């Protein structure tokens, strides 16, 4: 069974239940003004359905803005599966979820997120045509963390150019919170550019693995990294790390990382500016992953996707120039840029319908 509820800011919210497999999921479509909604499926043990709903509504809205700023003809959506993936993730559950995705007839494309991986997308794709972020074996682009990290690096270069009049991070100290897939790949880009790295992660094994490859990287306690003497602070783990208490302790001049929802609330963007910290909005910075899975819909071309991700540098420069010219925060400038594109493009199109000729064409359901 699925139930649909109204949201003041969303086109559609679908509650998905399959008792046989234990599936309990929510799919949120925020906007299809620019095209079908695209966003990952997060598999997480939320403490309640209300918490899951709050998260999926916030994340799907951010995807709308992310796609718009990235110049993609896609809208914003997201899904959450409620539960511990280590205990509940099974083929029947993923296939049941795939049937719900298919029932939306292309208004929503799903992909990987926290707790889901390309192999999971291959299973979901056995029930739905509207799946991306798949393994290379099944024609996908594989792990999107590589292009995500590359996009973060491009954004960081733009922030450096704005702050220090050079796009290079050579000689700068960058603190990376999170030594997972994105944080690890970001560190490699920064080391190649001549930066020194301080890394922190609650998983000691992830830090040890990174330092085994790059012994010059310094390890730090996750609770202490934010207050270190850094040039750049790069949140690449969970969101919400920047709040009313942590911002005054922040010593970096730039905040630029791959984590979603880095700000505890919208007012933190102003607080960061008041403390002399340049913050680039996470949904602009980490758009490389979205660019990759979006490119995969019509058949992945690595050069094309990388070239588009490289333009994150230009987008960030435009946002920072707009913020300076209008005396607003970069977060507000990014919102304005996204809203402007949505307003301009959506006027002749309205919300997206499955039979529109301009829709991306999905591949056939994989066996």
pLDDT, tens digit, 9 for 90 and up, residues 109-151: 999 988 999 999 999 999 999 999 999 999 998 888 889 999 9
How far apart are the C-alpha atoms of 77 and 233, rounded to whole Å?
Answer: 28
Q: Does the pLDDT value for residue 366 go beyond 70? A: no
Sign of the C-alpha dihedral, residues 78, 81, 83, 89?
Answer: negative
Decide: 260 and 59 in contact? Cβ < 8 Å.
yes
How far apart are the C-alpha atoms of 222 and 206, rounded to whole Å?
Answer: 13
How far apart are the C-alpha atoms of 64 and 85, rounded to whole Å?
Answer: 26
At the topology level, CATH places domain 2-64+75-138 in Rossmann fold (3.40.50)
pTM exceeds 0.75:
yes
CATH number of 145-328: 3.40.50.720
Residues of the chain with pLDDT > 70, as a percent, come to: 92
Helices 312-326, 145-164: inter-axial angle, 10-degree rounding: 40
Residue boundaries of the structural domains of the chain: 2-64+75-138, 145-328
Q: Which of 69, 174, 66, 52 is nearest to 114 (CA)?
A: 52
How far apart are the C-alpha atoms of 253 and 234, rounded to whole Å?
Answer: 11
Q: Do domains 2-64+75-138 and 145-328 have the same CATH topology?
A: yes
How far apart are the C-alpha atoms of 282 and 33, rounded to whole Å?
Answer: 22
Q: Does the pLDDT value for residue 285 go beyond 60? A: yes
Residue 70 in tokens: 């990235």
Position 71 confidence tier, pLDDT thresholds 50, 70, 90: very high
pLDDT, one tens digit per residue, over 234-253 is 999 877 899 999 999 999 99
Residue 205 in tokens: 């094994």
The confidence score (pLDDT) of residue 7 equals: 54
Question: How far, CA to CA in Å, does 240 sit from each of 150, 185, 236, 245, 308?
Answer: 22, 22, 11, 12, 28
Q: Does the pLDDT value for residue 367 go beyond 90? A: no
Enter the DSSP assignment of 6: E
How far is Cα of residue 176 from the mean position of the Cα atoms in its chain?
Answer: 17
In what helix (H) or strand (E) does residue 336 lie, and over which residues does it extend?
A: helix 330-349
Among 78, 87, 89, 311, the active-site one is 78
Q: Which of 85, 97, 76, 91 is nearest to 16 (CA)?
A: 97
Q: Does the pLDDT value for residue 298 go beyond 90? A: no
Averaged pLDDT for residues 184-206: 96
Q: Does the pLDDT value for residue 101 go beyond 60? A: yes
Mean per-residue pLDDT over the chain, rounded: 92
Told to judge if 78 belongs to the known catalytic residues of this protein, a careful annotator would answer: yes
Helices 312-326, 330-349: inter-axial angle, 10-degree rounding: 110
Position 356 confidence tier, pLDDT thresholds 50, 70, 90: low
The confidence score (pLDDT) of residue 108 equals: 98
Position 196 confidence tier, pLDDT thresholds 50, 70, 90: very high
């Amino acid at each position: 069974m699925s139930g649909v509820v109204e949201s003041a800011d969303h086109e559609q919210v679908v509650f998905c239940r399959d008792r046989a497999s234990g599936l309990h999921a929510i799919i949120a479509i925020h906007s299809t003004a620019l095209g079908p909604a695209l966003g990952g499926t997060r598999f997480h043990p939320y403490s309640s359905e209300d918490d899951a709903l709050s998260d999926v509504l916030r994340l799907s809205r951010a995807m709308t803005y992310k796609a718009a700023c990235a110049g993609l003809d896609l809208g914003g959506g997201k899904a959450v599966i409620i539960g511990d993936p280590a205990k509940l993730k099974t083929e029947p559950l993923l296939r049941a979820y795939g049937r719900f995705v298919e029932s939306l007839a292309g208004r929503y494309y799903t992909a990987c997120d926290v707790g889901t991986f390309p192999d999971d997308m291959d299973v979901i794709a056995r029930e739905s045509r509207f799946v991306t972020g798949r393994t290379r074996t099944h024609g996908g682009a594989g792990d999107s963390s590589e292009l995500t990290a590359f996009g973060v690096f491009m954004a960081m270069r733009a922030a450096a150019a704005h702050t220090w009049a050079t796009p290079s991070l050579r000689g700068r100290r960058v603190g990376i919170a999170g030594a997972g897939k994105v944080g690890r790949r970001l560190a490699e880009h920064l080391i190649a550019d001549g930066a020194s790295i301080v890394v922190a992660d609650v998983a000691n094994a992830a830090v040890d693995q990174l330092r085994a490859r790059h012994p010059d990287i310094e390890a730090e306690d996750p609770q202490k990294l934010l207050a270190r003497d850094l040039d750049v602070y790069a949140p690449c783990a969970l969101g919400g790390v920047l709040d009313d208490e942590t911002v005054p302790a922040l010593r970096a001049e730039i905040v630029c990382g791959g984590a979603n929802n880095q700000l505890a609330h919208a007012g933190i963007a102003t607080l960061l500016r008041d403390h002399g910290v340049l913050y680039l909005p996470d949904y602009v910075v980490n758009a490389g992953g979205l660019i990759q899975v979006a490119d995969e819909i019509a058949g992945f071309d690595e050069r094309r996707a990388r070239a588009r991700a490289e333009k994150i540098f230009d987008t960030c420069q435009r946002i920072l120039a707009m913020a300076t010219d209008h005396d607003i925060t970069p977060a507000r400038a990014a919102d304005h840029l996204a809203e402007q594109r949505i307003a301009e493009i959506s006027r002749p199109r309205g919300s997206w319908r499955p039979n529109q000729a301009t829709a991306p064409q999905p591949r056939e359901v994989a066996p």
